[in-house]
Amino acid sequence: IFDLGREMPKLEDSLKSESNKVSGCASQVWLRLETYKKDGVERLSFLGDSDALIVKGLIAIVGSIYDNMPLSDISNVDPYKMFESLELLGHLSSQRANGLNSMIKKIQDFPNVQVCWQFKLHLLSKLVEINRSIVVYWVKLNKKFKIT
């Protein structure tokens, strides 16, 4: 795990923001999550960093699971199976396990937030269209029946 942490590239200081910070970790942890399209499929872009070398190693493992994954697949993945197969879960302190859970939760919640906002924007645009149609109709009625 320490070797994986040493090999991880550092996150730029500008990306170590509050919005990228993972709460619930004993160490400082930042995950920069974004989406991009490849072959028409929306995917997750994952970068992470920590001030603790062992946590950077855990981030590297989490990143190997989720980076470049289609957003539609994220909720179907059980990342704990990877940690079980590596026989790591039993060796994590309760604080490190809580931090790992917080990282995974932030990732699993990410696409849901994106989908939620996209849906809200879609609804808002539909409401604007409906209101515009009502106004146009009302103006036509006013002209036709000379309503004041």
Catalytic sites, residue numbers: 25
Which own/partner contact pairs does 35-40 have at CB distance under 8 Å and 24+ positions apart? 35/71, 35/111, 35/114, 38/68
Which amino acid is it at 12?
E
Nearest to 1 by CA among 79, 80, 60: 60
Report whether 52 contacts 6 (CB < 8 A). Answer: no
Extended strands (E) in the chain: 29-38, 41-50
Which amino acid is it at 103?
M
- Tokens encoding 16: 């170590």
Kind and range of the H or E run holding 58: helix 53-66
